[in-house]
Amino acid sequence: MRRAARFVLVLLAVLALVTVAAWWVLARTTKAWWESDLAMRSKLAVNSARVGLTRGWPDDRATVGRALEDITRDSRILGAAACLPDGELLAATSDYPLGFTCALVAEHAGRAGGRGFTMAPEDSLHLTATPLEGEGGVLGTVVLVHDLGYVDQRDAATRQVLFGGFFVLALAAAVATLLAARFAWKGWTLELQRALLGEASTEFQPMVRDVRALVDRLVNEREGEARGGPWDPARLKATLTRHLQGERVVVLANREPYIHERGEGGVKVVHPASGLVTALEPVMRACSGTWVAHGSGSADRDTVDAKDRVRVPPGEESYLLRRVWLTEEEEAGYYYGFSNEGLWPLCHVAHARPVFRSSDWETYVAVNRRFAGAVCEEVDSDEPIVLVQDYHFALAPRMIRERLPRATILTFWHIPWPNAERFGICPWRDELLSGLLGSSIIGFHTQQHCNNFIDAVDAFMESRIDREARAVVQQGRKTLVRPYPISIEWPVRWLHDVPGVAECRKAIRGELGLGADALLGVGIDRLDYTKGVEERLAAVDELLARFPEFRGRFTFIQLAAPSRMKITRYRELNERVEQLAAEINARWGTPGWRPVVLLRDHHEPQTVFRYYRAADLCYVSSLHDGMNLVAKEFVAARDDEQGVLLLSQFTGAARDLTEALVVNPYDLRQASDALAAALRMSPEEQRERMRAMRRLVSEFNVYRWAGRMLVDAAELRRRERLTGRLTPLSPLTGVS
């Protein structure tokens, strides 16, 4: 039906064009027609008055004048004048406009070449200049002034008929097309139904098999899901045991889940602000195994054993953290350089130019090899399950595969994957793709990112794309490319230690010096230019400018964890955000009220969840984000089913959380409207929206995310074993 509507629109546009063209042609033709008609009628009028005119010509002006008056009895002729050949006026009727002198008229008449002409285009007066023939030749010219107002009226009538016709025709065409489309759709559906029921052999026969397979798969999945119960740590563990013989899982991720930092009061454990850690840590708790990461804390070396391992989580030890040490140069080239100044801006549409330095690339290759080596040291079979995480390790999958050809390597890319054209600017695009294709499965948050990845492989690599299996095949080895939208644990463990909503509301308002009924918005991010923090504060500014009712009542609190501060772009962002907050406060603030509270510091998860619970709204305004787990955490925190989520349309989360107020963060008018709508939303509507989102996040939690990947991996492994396709790989080109 949507196609039919589009067709109708095109049809209407064509009809409109045809109508305008027809009107234009008609207007021009009628004009030409009227002009020659005038000339002819003038000739007739002059001929009929010829006797009177010639009798008085040129000495008896009164006789000529009377003859001219006779001509103007015709109501469409307003005035007449007689001009001598030398341009002198012989006689004129009383209504003749004397500004139209004989000389001027002769000039225009010459240009009109015998047709009617206008002297004053703004009114509807037309003139004709008709030669008066005498016995001895041309005696002079008779000028007639015609009123063509009736022509304009006819013109307007024609236009009305034409446009009326267009309207009727357009309506008829639209109705006919929509009816035809509806009948065709009905017929199509009936025929497909009959084909599916086996009642008839129709032209849809070739599709029937595919439709049945799809239906079977959906039904099986649904039944399987229902049988398995909700996804939780126990079910994930059981899945691992059932499908993968309880293999130990090794995770490779740059960021470690627990950072030991030396402080004034001794060593403390810091939980980093990272969506990746938020998602992966509960999975590791459930699966046990080893997490290989960069040891970045100042007290990290003091807390590991001789093999650089430490058991975590502190106090509830259930898996191993293996730390890999990097020199300052390695960190500068691999982490700050190639990962965060090259790949990060390459993959995010956030208007930051990627920087690609050869020295960074070389360090990236070397560090990937070192981490891949550490993974191989941590596995305890030649068929381990390795979960490679994110853009820091694009080369590691192939490096691991070279040493462990039978490994099941699941790579998950936590950030967006750009389109092929954009990705193609990276000088080492082929090596990155080749490295990733060492994986058994590559996962992205959305189908769009999968498509972009496949397009890039198609454009730059020698391989076969198996679109049906959604896979890339290289030298007989298959890499599945699938969307696995990531999520959070459910229920969130941090919430056990956080007071209820009412208590958090009261406490936070008290800490900020706000009244009990103050309206509170919250934003929680690492200070990263992809998060749209500037746009978010600008939207608050716009809200206060456009909706004075919120001045003095609404406070927006931004928790911003400083991040990647050795990179200039991030340092500049910190300054700009600070300045913007100060400007907004100076513009709207009063002695007792600051509209923006900026807390630029690292906040531990319990603190973050207190703010989620205290807030009336949470605004996630990312300019581009693979998923964004802040949005899902806010939903998880609101067990009171209140609070409104404003969510950027450029996040992966916006595809799942459709009950959020989805906005374009660049559109400040729209964003401020949404802020106002959120602040005015009734508790019933808040409940309805929040309930739906909570249902979704609780069902599609991170255990399900990991479970589905592991089940797909197990299936792939089973097939590879059956077909004996576990062939070794060729070495990675250009990466030695």
**Contact residues for ligand G6P (CB under 6 A)?**
255, 274-276, 390, 414-415, 526, 563-564
Chain centroid to Cα 370, Å, comes to 38
**Cis geometry, peptide bond prior to residue 313 (ω within 30 degrees of 0):** yes
Strands lying side by side in the sheet with 137-147: 89-92, 77-83, 137-147, 125-134
In 3D, which of 701, 677, 698, 670 has the Cα closest to residue 617?
677
Least distance from ligand G6P to the Cβ atom of residue 173, Å: 52
- Residue 597 C-beta: closest distance to ligand G6P, Å: 23
Which one, 260 or 414, has the nearer CB to ligand G6P?
Answer: 414
**What is the distance, to the nearest Å, from the Cα of residue 82 to the centroid of all Cα atoms in its chain?**
74
Q: How far is the CB of 387 from ligand G6P (least distance, A)?
A: 13
Give the rounded distance of the alpha carbon of 323 from its chain centre. 39
- To the nearest 10 degrees (0 to 180), the angle between helices 629-637 and 605-614 is 70
Smallest distance from ligand G6P to CB 276, Å: 4
Q: What are phi and psi of 655, to 5 degrees?
A: -75, -30
The two tokens of residue 619 are 């605004």
Q: Identify which of residues 96 and 258 has a Cβ nearer to ligand G6P in the complex.
A: 258
CB of 414 to ligand G6P, least distance (A): 4
Least gap, CB of 554 to ligand G6P (angstroms): 29
CB of 700 to ligand G6P, least distance (A): 19
> What is the DSSP secondary-structure string of 387-404?
EEESGGGSSHHHHHHHH-
The residue type found at 385 is I
Closer residue to ligand G6P, CB minimum distance, 625 or 673: 625
Residue 658 in tokens: 């459709």
Strands (E), 635-723: 644-648, 661-663
Tell the burial category of 266 from Cβ atoms under 10 Å away from its Cβ (0-12, 13-18, 19+): exposed
Whole-number Å distance between alpha carbons of 416 and 459:
18
Measured from each CB, the residue nearest to ligand G6P is 274
Considering the complex, state which of residue 409 and residue 415 has its C-beta at the smaller distance from ligand G6P: 415
Q: Which residues contact 133 (CB under 8 A, 6 or more apart)?
A: 50, 139
Tell me whether residue 89 or residue 293 sits nearer to ligand G6P (CB atom): 293
Quickly count: other Cβ atoms within 10 Å of residue 92's Cβ. Answer: 22
Cis geometry, peptide bond prior to residue 731 (ω within 30 degrees of 0) = no
- Measured distance CA(196)–CA(216) in Å, rounded: 13
609 sits in which H/E element: helix 605-614
Helices (H), ranges, 442-566: 447-460, 501-511, 533-546
- Least separation in angstroms between residue 384's CB and ligand G6P is 22
What sign does the dihedral 54-55-58-63 (CA atoms) show?
Answer: negative
Q: Which is nearer to ligand G6P, 39 or 657 (CB)?
A: 657
Least distance between ligand G6P and beta carbon 476 (Å)? 32
We find the least distance from the C-beta atom of residue 428 to ligand G6P, in angstroms, to be: 19
Taking the complex as a whole, how short is the minimal distance between the CB of residue 527 and ligand G6P, in angstroms?
A: 11
Instruction: Decide whether 109 or 276 has the Cβ nearer to ligand G6P.
Output: 276
Helix axes 2-48, 61-71, angle to 10 degrees: 150
Identify the burial level of 638 via C-beta atoms within 10 angstroms of its C-beta, where 0-12 means exposed, 13-18 middle and 19 or more buried: buried
Considering beta carbons, is residue 526 or 694 the nearer one to ligand G6P?
A: 526
Two tokens, residue 591: 């002695």
Per the CB < 8 A criterion, the answer to whether 100 and 145 are in contact is yes
SS3 per residue for 512-538: CCCCCCCEEEEEEEECCHHHCHHHHHH
CB 478 within 8 A of CB 725: yes
Nearer CB in complex with ligand G6P: 616/625: 625
* Contact (CB, 8 A) for 378 and 292: yes
Taking the least distance from each CB to ligand G6P, the nearer of 46 and 415 is 415
Which of residues 79 and 275 has its CB atom nearest to ligand G6P in the complex? 275
Q: Which is nearer to ligand G6P, 321 or 679 (CB)?
A: 321
Q: How far is the CB of 471 from ligand G6P (least distance, A)?
A: 24
Looking at the Cβ atoms of 91 and 372, the one nearer to ligand G6P is: 372
* Nearest CA among 540, 611, 615 for reference residue 577: 540
β-pair partners for 262:
267
**Is the backbone peptide bond immediately before 491 cis, with ω within 30 degrees of 0?**
yes
Query: Look-up: residue for tokens 């605004």?
Result: 619
Q: Please report how close the Cβ of residue 433 comes to ligand G6P at its closest, in angstroms.
A: 19
Q: What is the DSSP letter of 549?
A: G
Q: Give 651's DSSP letter.
A: B
Nearer to ligand G6P, 275 or 438 (CB): 275
Q: How far is the CB of 628 from ligand G6P (least distance, A)?
A: 9
- Of 53 and 527, CB closest to ligand G6P: 527
Report the nearest approach of ligand G6P to the CB of residue 415 (Å): 5
Distance of CA 327 to the CA centre of its chain: 40
Smallest distance, ligand G6P to C-beta of residue 577, A: 17
In the bound state with ligand G6P, the residue whose beta carbon lies nearer, of 435 and 595, is 435
